[in-house]
């Protein structure tokens, strides 16, 4: 498989966080997220974003997530998608951001 083909296997989509609340059972501070992906529906994710983001600041925000990696249970919560970010100098997760509004559910390429 070529690197380009391998990239095509990963399905990354734009979603909008519709609800965020602390995942109090998580070992590291995290949020339970409900993310609307348009035609794909609302999916859940547990994300370690508490160091830089408040739950009320996450709601309504556009994010990028990998949607085809399968489900995992994290601290008793079903995590269906992987929200993408990058670590800052202190290892805190900084969300990947879009600089303009785009339709939710759109595929990243």
pLDDT digits (tens, 9 = 90+) for 22-63: 999 999 999 999 999 999 999 999 999 999 999 999 999 999
Whether the predicted pLDDT of 8 surpasses 90: no
User: For 73, phi and psi rounded to 5 degrees?
Assistant: -105, 125
Closest to 91 in 3D by CA, of 46, 60, 51, 36: 51
- DSSP assigned state of 107: B
Neighbours of 91 (CB within 10 A): 8
| pLDDT above 90 (res 5) | no
- Percent above pLDDT 90 for the chain: 92
């Amino acid at each position: 498989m070529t690197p380009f083909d391998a990239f095509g296997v990963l399905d990354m989509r734009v979603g909008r966080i519709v609800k965020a609340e602390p995942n109090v059972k998580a070992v590291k501070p995290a949020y339970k997220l409900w993310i609307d992906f348009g035609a794909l529906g609302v999916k859940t994710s547990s994300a370690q974003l508490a160091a830089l983001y408040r739950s009320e600041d996450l709601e309504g925000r556009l994010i990028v997530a990998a949607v085809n990696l399968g489900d995992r249970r994290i601290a008793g919560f079903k995590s269906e998608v992987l929200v993408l970010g990058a670590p800052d100098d202190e290892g805190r997760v900084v969300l990947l951001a879009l600089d303009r509004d785009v339709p939710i559910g759109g595929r990243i390429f």
